[in-house]
Amino acid sequence: KESPASAPKCVPGLSVILPVHNAQQWLDECLMSVLKQDFEGTMELSVFNDASKDQSMTIIEKWKMNLEDSGIPVVIGGHDSPSPRGVGYSKNQAIIQSTGSYLCFLDSDDVMMPQRVRLQYEAAVQYPTSIVGCQVRRDPPDSTERYTRWINQLAPDQLLTQVFTSHGPTVIMPTWFCSRAWFFHVGPFDEGGKGVPEDLLFFYEHLRKGGGVFRVDHSLLLYRYHLYAATHSVLEMTIWTHRVHFLEEQALPGWESFTIWNAGKQGRRLYRSLSAASRRKVVAFCDVDENKIKKGFYCHEDSQERPKPQVPILHFRAAQPPFVICVKLDLTGGEFEDNLKSLHLQEGRDFIHFS
């Protein structure tokens, strides 16, 4: 009889979390990628079918046998109500019915590379209070080029400093991997359904609780772009409101005053969206556009204050940090980045990207 000391080490279980809604055209490829994982620990697949009306369930049942024959148990839940309950609800249900100590999130239209689970598991064990992401390959390759470049090229410290931008979470939801314990410390996902950015809200709560962000620098997911993606149901205004609130909660309290970099449309929109207390901290707008600078100031016409606030517009070299930057970084042909570098500022401390 083997003594306990020499017994094989049991690797904690892992659950791949797969919400499904009308995904028949992608499921074969997606489920094949689960089967092809080179992870040597114990792994299960937890599927939750959110009122699919196509052949998704037939495909899942077919794959259940293949996966279980290969040693990957499959847990299937779902409902057949007339309408879906949404991605947040589906992910929560898939997690509740699963048993793994670690959670690997997978969208039904994406494809994992064979080493994804193994590499992200290794990182998650090392960083137990982090959301672990990875680099991605976009399909079609030329869709969302700016966004894909941002996902893949952020420096490690920028995973925490660039959390206020319009791109959302600095590691994207379909690549998330974390411990079950940490998920329940932060979560669950918001179940508001269609139009709710449940991943962004979870990410913000994760950061509030002191969670870290780590990216495995290998392309471990084929990340599909198509018109049916749930992302498209979230209004830009909804995201904007959450972002402004998070900026005011997490960044602005540490600054006595700040400058908004961009005297144009986006900068003025941010100013108008701020609370009265935050607006009072804005000492100036700054820009490089001589026409805007010549105006001398921006008058907030909608303000209830009398006299109406007039905020100076300065050349960026005459402005004082810290800055909230409302300029789309790579749409200026490198000119903006050069200007910013010339000031020798530290991201996070001296400036924050909000564009």
pLDDT for position 195: 87
Coil, strand or helix: which one is 45?
Answer: strand
Residues paired with 5 in a beta bridge = none
> What is the rounded average pLDDT of the residues 128-153?
94
pLDDT at 333: 63
3-state DSSP assignment of residue 98: coil
Using the predicted structure, report yes or no on whether residue 3 has a pLDDT greater than 80: no
Q: For residues 135 and 222, give the distance between their C-alpha atoms in angstroms, rounded to a whole number.
A: 9
- For the segment 192-200, the average pLDDT, to the nearest whole number, is 91
Residue 43 has pLDDT above 70, yes or no: yes
247, 352 Cβ separation under 8 angstroms: yes
pLDDT value for 143: 84
311-353 pLDDT, tens digit per residue, is 999 999 999 999 999 998 665 667 888 899 999 999 999 999 9
Higher confidence at residue 95 or residue 300? 95
- Looking at the predicted structure, is the pLDDT value of residue 42 above 70? yes
**pLDDT higher than 60, residue 7:** no
Is the pLDDT confidence value at 9 over 70? no
45-58 pLDDT, tens digit per residue, is 999 999 999 999 99
Read off the pLDDT of residues 252-295 as tens digits, 9 standing for 90 and up: 999 999 999 999 999 999 999 999 999 999 999 999 999 999 99
The phi and psi torsions of 247 (rounded to 5 degrees) equal -60, -45
Q: What share of the chain in percent tops pLDDT 90?
A: 83
